[in-house]
Amino acid sequence: MRKPIIAGNWKMFKTRDEAIEFMYQVSESMPSNQLVDSVICAQAPMMRCLIKRQGQNLRIGAQNLCYEDQGAYTGEISGQLLKSYNVDYVIIGHSERRNIFGETDETVNKKLKAALRNELLPIVCVGEHLEERENNLTNKVLTKQIKGAFADISAIEMENIVLAYEPIWAIGTGKTATAEQAEESCAFIRKLIKEMYGLVVADQIRIQYGGSVKPANIDEIIAKENIDGALIGGASLDPEKFIYMVNAAVKK
């Protein structure tokens, strides 16, 4: 049995006051962390005020980290610093980082190692462009991204990693993959992990779907066998929608 995980990716939205208001509105309504892991990944400067207000049932994550732990890397955020603030999770290789800021499978791999070194729980994102899907290249792209991201990562280290399948054409577009498309790709990813790490790791690794998930479609998506949760952008900004979606995961 894999525990579902719902992570909100707030991207570059919300001010400090808006973030605090969100925490105030959701904190009483978060289901037990025995049933679901609920996470909000926010911009780094608001991390401290969110961590002060997090509880066991709602944890805080970052959206990025540097692959080095310290040094002359102006503007970067180290895993060491995140850990010292009690941040639990970090998103790595989000398509916006890959497409806008030039991250590659190689930097994703280095960042993943930095996260593990600093005992952060990584949410590693993979997913194809629309053109790649239309040209039947989805599985090839996923294979390249996963093999690249997990180079030199051991089976033991895989225990603490969450994978997020996020087709790029479905992110922030309102265009959700059908539950069947999402399941098909998540099943493919699990099969690939089995080939790379064996049955035990493949059975325990949690795979989220991300791409325009909202209250209207989460029930159908989360019901799928190989989908263990969701990485949610836009809809996670709204406290009522977030509460609905973490509770939908509990029903899985």
Q: Which is nearer to ligand PEP, 163 or 202 (CB)?
A: 163
**Contact string (CB under 6 A) for ligand PEP, positions 11-30, x = contact:** x-------------------
57 vs 122: CA distance, rounded Å? 18
234 vs 214: CA distance, rounded Å? 8
9 vs 4: CA distance, rounded Å? 16
If you ran DSSP here, which 8-state letter would residue 55 be given?
B
Is 166 tagged catalytic?
A: yes
Region of 16 (left: φ > 0; alpha: ψ -120 to 50; beta: rest) is alpha
Can residue 208 be called a binding residue for ligand PEP (CB under 6 A)? no
- Min separation Cβ 240 and ligand PEP, Å: 16
Can residue 233 be called a binding residue for ligand PEP (CB under 6 A)? yes
Using only C-alpha atoms, the chain has a radius of gyration, in whole angstroms, of 17
Query: Cβ(92)–Cβ(123) under 8 Å?
Result: yes
Can residue 31 be called a binding residue for ligand PEP (CB under 6 A)? no
Is 94 tagged catalytic?
A: yes
Can residue 210 be called a binding residue for ligand PEP (CB under 6 A)? yes
Can residue 9 be called a binding residue for ligand PEP (CB under 6 A)? yes
Among 90, 124, 232, 243, binds ligand PEP (CB under 6 A): 232
Binding site for ligand PEP (CB under 6 A): 9, 11, 94, 166, 171-172, 210-213, 231-235
